[in-house]
Amino acid sequence: MEISSDGLILLVVILAILSIGGGAIAVTTLQPLRGHIPFLTPITDLSIPISGEARHQFNRGILAYRERAYRQAIDCFTKVLDCEPTLAEALHNRARAKANLAKQQDAVVDFVAASGVYDRQGTKPGIDWIKADLDVLAKL
């Protein structure tokens, strides 16, 4: 039996919800990450070309992320998405930054959105990376 790409996305979403769901809410409310940063590095290789303001904001977001200024990185990646809504790496990095701030539920939303974009682009390595990141997030 072959699973379609839409079926794969649905499976990822269901697994993420089941594995993280309410437990993640309780964990983030009752016990912050205590200095543990699950995603130390941002995604820097882009699946589509970008230029102008989107490129500028993406670079700013990468720098902020590397400096562990995750709120600033989230703002930058959000600005990138205003210009380039189909840039999976901006969603992916924003998800990682949210996870680093112990905002797992918000991170899952962005991880799932990024996986959808990667899927539409046919970027299997991106989808695999999202799966691995969701596994890390589920273990927090």
Report the distance separating Cα 109 and Cα 99, nearest Å: 11
3 or 30, greater pLDDT: 3
Question: For residue 95, which of 113, 84, 107, 79 has the smallest C-alpha distance?
Answer: 107
Residue 9's pLDDT band (cuts 50, 70, 90): confident
Is the CA virtual torsion 111, 116, 122, 124 positive or negative? positive
CA angle 33, 35, 36 (to 5 degrees): 65
Q: What domains sit in the chain, N to C, each tagged with a CATH number?
A: 5-138 (1.25.40.10)
Give pTM, 2 decimals. 0.76
Residues 6+ apart with CB under 8 A from 8: 119, 127
Check residue 15 and give its pLDDT. Answer: 57
Report the distance separating Cα 107 and Cα 74, nearest Å: 11
Helices within the chain (DSSP H only):
5-30, 52-66, 70-83, 88-100, 104-121, 124-138
pLDDT in tens, 93-139: 999 999 999 999 999 999 999 999 999 999 999 999 999 999 999 99
